[in-house]
Structure 1
Amino acid sequence: MRRLPFVLAAALAATSLLPASAMARSGDSSNNKTRASAKATSGKATFYELRSGGGNCSYPSPPAGGLYVALSRAEYRAAAACGGYLTVTGPKGSVQVKVVDQCPECSAGHIDLSRKAFARVADPGKGMVGVSYSPAANPRIGKPLSFRVKEGSSQWWLALLVVDHGNPLTSVEVKSAGGTWRKLARADYNYWIAASGAGKGPFAVRVTDTRGHRVTANGVRLTPSAVQRTTTKMY
């Protein structure tokens, strides 16, 4: 991950901030949809800028509008938060941001916004402000699912990235023609892995999110590096 450092001047240490608290964690199971909560977390925000790519979540590029956020290790949850959205409220107003990155320097309750997102909620000159934030349920994406097969993938090892799903994901499964569904394991860089491969493809890919939506996209090819767009939407 290549990040521009966010502003953490010593003078800000004395600034009065809302108390930080950790976002409620949810496990990698179907219980996520019942545990997911709109309850706001009070904490603090700084800002940074991605130099390239989409951060630890491995997206090919930042969101088109430049509104994104990096989370602490505890809230990133080994990529379980990737691709989800938060509604963040600060002194100037609110903004919806996509989770694309991890902030290793941040403690739970400290989020690192893009500069553009920070400017929506506070004066960037402040560097750090108190905010509240909560998961956005079923954010409007306006795009169907896309998939990217990671470099080095083959019939014997497969790594698959899911893009534009809206809510965080709980499960990704693949199936070759005539085969059975195989559940993939999520890596902390947000690719879903079949350690022993899934065949030559093309694949049907079944995707499930934290709100209980489940869809199947067909015809995903074993073509590393290419972003494959489909017509399938999560909701």
Structure 2
Amino acid sequence: MRRLPAVLTAALAATSLLSAPAPALALAQPAQATKGQATLYELQSGGGNCSYPSRPAGDLYVALSPGEYAAAAACGGYLDVTGPKGTVRVKVVDQCPECQAGHIDLSRTAFARVADPAKGLVGVTYRPVANPKVGQPLSFRVKEGSSQWWLALLVIDHGNPLTSVEVKSTGGAWRKLARANFNYWIAESGAGQGPFSVRVTDTRGHRVTANGVRLSPAAIQRSTTKMY
């Protein structure tokens, strides 16, 4: 769990952000700007609480407050963040446990696009992006420990946040997976030996099916299927 520097915590307390309620970020709703504040941090490894295997291209990412992270429902979505110097587009990859609603934690690279990093804390506005250009087809990662009796599946490069992931083996029925707060989609009783068809639905109503996903833990499997 990350901790903010004491000076930033004090600054946030002074602005009453630490006592504010934490409504969920409505990424599925028409884009509305949120006024808030941003700090900066760097991922220690991997892709944060969203479990992505690597950082986004350009190191442009953001961590959200627990309410806005919404138990991983915001993972993989994008925000346009505007500050004194301009606007930057960032990918949601992490949760900021100490942040209250309206406080986002930007990568150092992203923060530098909107403000002077020396400030450490700056007022911003941010809004969710509908159908961001990803440029990659969907990829999948089966979590270590998965088997025919327990399956955990990560979906990568979908653009909009996801609402549903389903799998089926050849000749079987669709099985809906449950999202964990670390962003893997889980079948507690497994889904068989695979290979699987995976049906993915996002917050903007796009639904696609990728075929041939193997039960191969830890391997990144890139499909030819795009969400839109």
Check if 1:193 corresponds to 2:191: no
1:146 paired with 2:144, answer no
Match of 1:63 in 2: 56
Q: Which runs of 4+ in 1 moved over 2 A?
A: 5-8, 10-18, 20-26
Alignment partner, residue 39 of structure 2: 46
How many percent identity over aligned positions? 76
Map 1:70-109 → 2, pairs under 5 A: 70-109=63-102
Deviation sequence 1:101-126 (CA, Å, 0-9, x none): 00001011100000000000000010
Which has more helix, going by share of residues?
2
Give the 3-state SS of the residue equivalent to 1:62 in structure 2: coil
Letter in 2 for 1:128: L
Retained in 1: the 8 A contact 2:148–2:193?
yes
Q: Structure 2 matches for 1:209-228, cutoff 5 A? A: 209-228=202-221
Shift of 1:51: 1.4
Q: 2:170, 2:137 → 1: CA distance?
A: 23
Normalization by structure 2: what TM-score? 0.93
Rounded to whole Å, the distance in 1 between the matches of 2:15 and 2:44 is 30
Partner of residue 29, structure 1 = none
Contact 2:24 2:67 in 1 (8 A): no
Q: 1:109 to 1:93 in 2, by over 3 A?
A: same
Structure 2 counterpart SS, 1:224:
coil
How well do the aligned residues superpose, as a CA RMSD in angstroms? 2.1
2:158 is the alignment partner of 1:160: no
Task: Give the residue type in structure 2 aligned to 1:190.
Answer: N
Give the 3-state SS of the residue equivalent to 1:234 in structure 2: coil
1:127-142 to 2 correspondences below 5 Å: 127-142=120-135
Could you tell me how far 1:74 is from its partner in structure 2?
Answer: 0.5
Partners of 1:205 and 1:223 in 2: CA distance: 14
Aligned residues: 226
Q: Which ranges of structure 1 fall in alignment gaps of 5 or more residues?
A: 27-31
SS in 2 for 1:138: coil
What is the one-letter code of the residue matched to 1:50? L
In the aligned structure 2, how far is the partner of 1:21 from the partner of 1:133? 18
Deviation string 1:184-204 (CA, Å, 9 cap, x unpaired) is 000000000000000000000
Distance 1:210 1:190 in 2: 15
* Runs of 5+ unmatched residues, structure 2: none
1:27-38 counterparts in 2 under 5 A?
A: 33=28, 36-38=29-31
TM-score under structure 1 length normalisation: 0.90
1:6: Cα distance to partner? 4.6
Question: Are 1:167 and 1:209, in contact at CA under 8 Å, matched by a contact in 2?
Answer: yes
Corresponding letter in the other structure for 1:175: K
Residues 207/13 of structure 1: CA separation in 2 closer, same or farther (3 Å cut)? closer
1:25-63 residue CA offsets vs partner (Å, 9 max, x unmatched): 45xxxxx74xx1211010100000011100000000110
Conserved? CA contact 2:80–2:127, under 8 Å: yes
Whether 2:117 is the aligned partner of 1:124: answer yes
**Letter of the aligned partner of 1:101 in structure 2?**
D
